[in-house]
Amino acid sequence: MQFDAIVKTRPDATWFLPSFSAQEYLLRGDLVTHFSDIFIFAPRRYAKGFVQFWDNYTQCDGTWKGAYFPELALDWAFRDLGAIYYYDRQTPVSIRRASRNETSAFWICKDQRRVSVQRCMRLVYDVDDKFAI
């Protein structure tokens, strides 16, 4: 079995609308589409980008001059492979935090551009009221 693409998503990701299909992402050619480190879609030819940081880090025998944050490490790795690392803010995803009152809950809803911040917060957190016991 051979796959055409590699997809990475965080376990706390919350999809609040349908996204593009795999075929639609593949039609983007050399784009590795991502939304922060929450979601990454890479055509198979760029799969090595997911492990490049670790390979570089374990081979380092001096002062580390690489990226310290996953977003930047992945950006450098995919660009080194010839991909265009595209931050797609239209991706309908957010992070589900423990509480809507956490600063980062608002920030990640603000970072996406698919729906308003208020609608994103409702889609991700108002479900709590519907399933309360």
The H-or-E segment that residue 60 falls in is none
> Are 125 and 100 within 8 A, CB to CB?
yes
Above 90 in pLDDT, residue 4?
Answer: yes
Residue 62, amino acid: G
99 DSSP 8-state letter: -
> Are 49 and 32 within 8 A, CB to CB?
yes
Query: Helices then strands (H, E): number in the chain?
Result: 6, 6
Above 70 in pLDDT, residue 129?
Answer: no
CB atoms within 10 A of CB 35: 24
Reported as a single tens digit per residue, the pLDDT across 19-68 is 999 999 999 999 999 998 899 999 999 999 999 888 888 888 888 888 88
> Are 50 and 42 within 8 A, CB to CB?
yes
> Are 74 and 126 within 8 A, CB to CB?
no
Above 90 in pLDDT, residue 2?
Answer: no
